[in-house]
Amino acid sequence: MQKVFTRPKTLKDCPTHYCPGCGHGIAHRLITEVIDELGVSGKTIGIAPVGCAVLAYDYIDVDMIEVAHGRAPAVATGMKRTNPDKIVFSYQGDGDLAAIGTAEIIHAAHRAEQLTVVFINNAVFGMTGGQMAPTTMLGQITATTQQGRQADGQGYPLQVCELLNILPGAIYIERCGLCSPAHIRKAKAALKHAFELQMNNAKGLSLVELLSPCPTYWRLSPPDAMLWIQNEMTKVFPLGKLKG
């Protein structure tokens, strides 16, 4: 019998700590598939965020570091500048990248750092218990927007891709959704492109935003969470390539 589907070599064989229906597991799998297919597991350095994916190194079997909340693009800068032959990627959530680490991501892109950034947008703070993120949708109920997020006083959902798109140092920006098999295949192609750009020494930063389900704090079933991405989130966070 021929084996047609197997666990990527770079994805560790261990029980997951993520909630049922969480998108992190899908994102981890896509990244490790890409690392395997490109044959770069021995020269890749990954950066885990603060948030639900802080233990990403328990799953992704490459050299990894865990850093202060939001500072991954600065840490990545220090790594890549001193090790131009290595592939450096950061894995950051919406609290990490779009709230506390806004300065670091903008300036890493602004300096055209040769990095790959995987940006997980699930519109909520997961690990701290489902509070508002900068990317929380208007009207969305969270632990800190109990009446639903109001633009007046709580601001609008932050569109990171569109924000970075104006910077010449950001050379590849694409938003994908982990919300159906077809979307997930597209996300993998985007991640692969982002890694390839770095392997080809392309002069600038690549960012792939992944709209990712958080059934627990959206209070939805896993299938409904995927539908919510397709039907609601994509209205504010349109899918597609912005550049590169």
Partner 1 sequence: MSGKVLMCGNEAMAESAIQAGLDAYFGYPITPQNEVTAYMSKRMAEEGRVFVQSESELAAVNMVFGASATGKRTMTSSSSPGISLMQEGISYLAGAELPCVIVNVMRGGPGLGNIAPSQGDYFQAVKGGGHGDYHCIVFGPSGVQEWVDIMPLAFDLADLYRIPVMILADGILGQMMEPVVIPKDARRKTQDPGLPKKDWALTGAEGRKQNIVRSLWLADGAIERHNYDLQARYRQIEKNETLCEQYKVDDADIVIVAYGIAARIVRGAVDKARKEGIKAGLIRPITLWPFPTEQISRAADEPRIFLVVEMSCGQMVEDVRLAVAGKTPVVFWGRPGGGIPTVEQVFGQIRELTIKPKREK
Minimum CB distance to partner 1, residue 177 (Å): 30
Amino acid, res. 7: R
From the number of C-beta atoms within 10 Å of its C-beta (0-12, 13-18, 19+), residue 13 rates as: exposed
Q: What is the DSSP code (8-state) at residue 93?
A: E
Q: Is 103 in the site for partner 1 (CB under 8 A)?
A: yes
Q: Where are the alpha helices (DSSP H) in 61-157?
A: 72-82, 94-95, 102-110, 151-154
Q: Is 75 in the site for partner 1 (CB under 8 A)?
A: yes
Closer by beta carbon to partner 1, 62 or else 171: 62
Interface segment toward partner 1; rule CB under 8 A; list 101-109, 126-134, 143-151, 179-187? 101-109
How far apart are alpha carbons 186 and 200 in whole angstroms?
A: 21
Pick from 19, 38, 65, 220: which binds partner 1 (CB under 8 A)?
65
From the number of C-beta atoms within 10 Å of its C-beta (0-12, 13-18, 19+), residue 200 rates as: exposed
Q: Is 77 in the site for partner 1 (CB under 8 A)?
A: yes
Which residue has tokens 């966070």? Answer: 237
Name the residue among 173, 194, 203, 209 with its Cα closest to residue 92: 209
Q: How many residues bind partner 1 (CB under 8 A)?
A: 32
Span 107-136, contacts to partner 1 by CB under 8 A: 107, 110-111
Closer by beta carbon to partner 1, 94 or else 104: 104
Residues at the site binding partner 1, with contacts judged by CB under 8 A: 41-45, 54-55, 57, 61-68, 71, 74-79, 81-83, 86, 103-104, 107, 110-111
